[in-house]
C-alpha cells in the first residue's frame, strides 16, 4: 500500500498512543474529530466490511495541516522507518491485513512489522503461559509447537520469558514460521536477553507491534498487545499459568473474540497450573495431545470458510483453472486426494519446504478445495 494511503491510519494510531493528558488536549480540537469517529467505528460490532468503510470515510475528512506538528513529525519518522527493506506497515484497508484480526472488536489501525508480513496470513496457533515455568512446562510448550508446526500451523506468542520463548523456539527448531507480538516498539527488544531469539524470529517469521517503533516498554502495553496475539490465531494454548498470570488475560480476550482456548492440565500441587485448572472449569478444552487441538480447530476452519463469499452451484468445478489457481497451487492440489496426506509427505513429494507449502495450503482451504483434519489434508472437491 502506498504511504499516502497509510498516513491517515498512522496519524490515528499515533493519536491514541499519546499520553492521556496530551490526548485530551488533542481530542478537544475539532480537526481531530474525524479520527475519533474512525476509532469509534472500529470499536463498533459491525461486519468487517462496514466497519472498514465507516472508518475510511471518516479519515477522508482529515485535514492533516490542522493537526499538531509533533504528531505529523512522528508519522514522518514511522514512514522513514518503513523504508528499510526489513520493515513494513500494514493499515486496516490493506488487503494483506490479517483477516482474522480484522474481525475483532478493536483491530490496530496500523501494524508495524519486521520480517515477512505475509506470514500473518498463515494459520496460527498461539502458545502462552508463565514466565517462570517448570522444566516440564518448557518441554511441553516446545513439543506442542513442533507438532503444531508439522500440522501446518505457525506459532504466535509474545517473546516473553518462559513459555512464550519455548513456543517460539519449538517453531524455529523445525523451520516453521513464528510471530512475536511485542508490547513495545520494534526498535526495543524486550526482554533484552531475547535479542538473538528476536533476530531468529525476524528471519523465519515476523516481529509485530501496534506501537510506534521508538515506543519504550510500559506495563499497560503488554495486556493490550495480548488481544493481537489471540486475534491473529485460530486458538490459544495455555501451558502453565498461575491465577495471576497475564496468560489468563489472553485467554479471556480469546474467548471474547470467539477463539478456542486449549489448556494443558498439571499437578494440583503446582501453583503455576492453578490458572490452567480455572480455565478448564470455565469451559476451556483440556488438552493431552496435539490431536485434541487439531480436531477442535477443524470446526474453526469450517466456520472461517463459511464467512467467505460463496460461489453459486456450478460456478466452481474440479479444475484448477475454474478455481483460479496458478500452476504451483494446481500442482499442490493434484497431490491431495480423499485420503489424508500430511505436510511432511507433501513436502517430500513436491520437493518443497514446509514453510513454502503453507500459503498454498491456506489458499486451497479458503477456496474450499481441501480441508484439514487430525490426520492431515484431504480433498473436498
On average, the pLDDT of the chain sits at 82
Give the start-to-end residue ranges of the domains of the chain: 3-115, 122-297, 310-379
pLDDT value at residue 68:
79
* Better-predicted residue by pLDDT, 114 or 34: 114
| DSSP for residue 132 | S
For the ranges 19-33, 126-140, 226-240, 311-325, which has the lowest average pLDDT?
311-325
Q: How distant is the alpha carbon of residue 336 from its chain centre?
A: 27
Nearest-angstrom CA–CA distance, 179 and 359: 15
Q: Residue 208 pairs with which residues in a beta bridge?
A: 113, 181
Contacts for 132-139: CB closer than 8 Å, 24+ residues apart? 132/161, 132/162, 132/272, 133/162, 133/163, 133/166, 133/239, 133/240, 133/272, 134/240, 134/270, 134/272, 137/162, 137/163, 137/166, 137/239, 137/240, 137/266, 137/272, 138/162, 138/163, 138/166, 139/166
Show the cell assigned to 280: 478448564
The 10s digit of each residue's pLDDT in 179-208 is 999 999 999 999 999 999 999 999 999 999
The 10s digit of each residue's pLDDT in 236-281 is 999 999 998 889 999 999 999 999 999 999 989 889 899 999 999 9
Identify whether the C-beta of residue 360 lies closer than 8 Å to the C-beta of residue 289.
no
Nearest-angstrom CA–CA distance, 167 and 153: 12
122-297 and 310-379: identical CATH topology: no
Contacts for 34-43: CB closer than 8 Å, 24+ residues apart? 34/58, 34/59, 34/60, 34/61, 34/62, 35/11, 35/59, 35/62, 38/12, 38/109, 39/12, 39/109, 42/92, 42/106, 42/107, 42/109, 43/105, 43/106
The 10s digit of each residue's pLDDT in 100-153 is 898 887 888 899 999 999 999 889 999 999 999 999 999 999 999 999 998 889
Q: Is residue 95 packed enough to be buried (19+ CB in 10 Å), middle (13-18) or exposed (0-12)?
A: exposed
Q: How confident is the model at residue 348 (pLDDT cuts 50, 70, 90)?
A: confident
Catalogue the E-assigned strands of the chain.
87-91, 110-115, 124-129, 154-157, 178-181, 206-209, 235-239, 260-264, 285-286, 370-373, 376-379
Q: How confident is the model at residue 320 (pLDDT cuts 50, 70, 90)?
A: very low
Domain 310-379 matching CATH 1.10.1740.10: the answer reads no
Q: Residue 314 pLDDT > 60, yes or no?
A: no
Dihedral, CA of residue 72, residue 75, residue 79 and residue 80, to nearest 10:
70
Domain 122-297 matching CATH 3.90.1150.10: the answer reads no
Dihedral, CA of residue 120, residue 121, residue 122 and residue 125, to nearest 10:
60
Nearest-angstrom CA–CA distance, 206 and 115: 4
The 10s digit of each residue's pLDDT in 49-82 is 666 666 666 666 666 777 778 888 999 999 999 9
pLDDT value at residue 380:
73
Identify whether the C-beta of residue 185 lies closer than 8 Å to the C-beta of residue 216.
yes
Identify whether the C-beta of residue 166 lies closer than 8 Å to the C-beta of residue 134.
no
Nearest-angstrom CA–CA distance, 299 and 315: 25
Residue 371: strand, helix, or coil: strand
Q: How confident is the model at residue 317 (pLDDT cuts 50, 70, 90)?
A: very low
Amino acid at each position: 500500500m502506498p504511504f499516502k494511503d497509510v498516513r491517515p491510519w498512522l496519524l490515528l494510531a499515533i493519536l491514541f498512543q499519546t499520553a492521556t493528558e496530551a490526548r485530551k488536549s488533542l481530542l478537544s480540537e475539532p480537526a481531530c474529530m474525524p479520527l475519533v469517529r474512525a476509532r469509534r467505528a472500529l470499536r463498533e460490532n459491525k461486519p468487517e466490511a462496514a466497519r472498514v468503510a465507516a472508518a475510511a470515510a471518516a479519515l477522508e475528512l482529515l485535514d492533516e495541516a490542522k493537526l499538531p506538528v509533533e504528531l505529523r513529525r512522528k508519522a514522518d519518522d514511522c514512514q522513514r522507518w518503513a523504508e528499510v527493506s526489513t520493515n513494513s506497515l500494514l493499515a486496516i484497508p490493506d488487503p494483506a491485513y490479517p483477516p482474522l484480526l480484522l474481525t475483532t472488536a478493536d483491530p490496530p489501525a496500523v501494524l508495524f512489522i519486521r520480517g515477512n508480513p505475509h506470514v500473518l496470513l498463515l494459520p496460527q496457533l498461539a502458545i502462552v503461559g508463565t514466565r517462570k515455568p517448570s522444566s516440564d512446562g518448557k518441554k511441553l510448550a516446545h513439543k506442542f509447537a513442533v507438532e503444531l508446526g508439522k500440522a501446518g500451523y505457525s506459532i504466535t506468542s509474545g517473546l516473553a520469558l518462559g513459555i512464550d520463548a519455548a513456543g517460539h523456539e519449538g517453531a524455529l527448531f523445525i523451520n516453521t514460521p513464528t510471530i512475536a507480538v511485542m508490547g513495545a516498539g520494534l526498535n526495543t527488544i524486550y526482554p533484552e536477553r531475547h535479542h538473538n531469539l528476536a533476530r531468529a524470529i525476524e528471519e523465519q517469521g515476523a516481529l509485530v507491534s501496534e506501537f510506534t517503533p521508538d515506543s519504550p516498554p510500559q506495563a499497560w502495553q503488554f495486556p493490550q498487545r495480548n488481544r493481537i496475539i489471540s486475534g491473529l490465531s485460530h486458538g490459544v494454548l495455555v501451558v502453565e499459568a498461575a491465577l495471576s498470570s497475564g496468560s489468563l488475560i489472553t485467554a479471556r480476550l480469546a474467548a471474547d473474540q470467539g477463539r478456542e482456548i486449549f489448556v494443558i492440565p498439571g499437578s494440583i500441587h503446582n501453583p503455576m497450573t492453578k490458572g490452567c485448572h480455572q480455565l478448564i472449569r470455565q469451559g476451556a478444552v483440556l488438552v493431552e495431545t496435539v490431536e485434541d487441538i487439531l480436531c477442535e480447530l477443524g470446526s474453526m476452519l469450517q466456520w472461517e470458510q463459511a464467512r467467505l463469499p460463496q460461489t453459486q452451484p456450478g460456478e466452481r468445478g474440479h479444475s484448477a483453472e475454474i478455481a483460479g489457481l496458478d500452476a504451483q497451487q494446481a500442482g499442490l492440489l493434484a497431490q491431495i486426494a480423499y485420503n489424508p496426506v500430511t505436510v511432511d509427505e507433501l513436502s517430500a513429494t513436491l520437493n518443497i519446504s514446509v514453510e513454502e507449502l503453507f500459503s498454498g495450503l491456506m489458499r486451497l482451504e479458503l477456496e474450499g478445495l481441501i480441508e484439514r483434519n487430525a490426520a492431515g489434508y484431504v480433498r473436498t472437491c
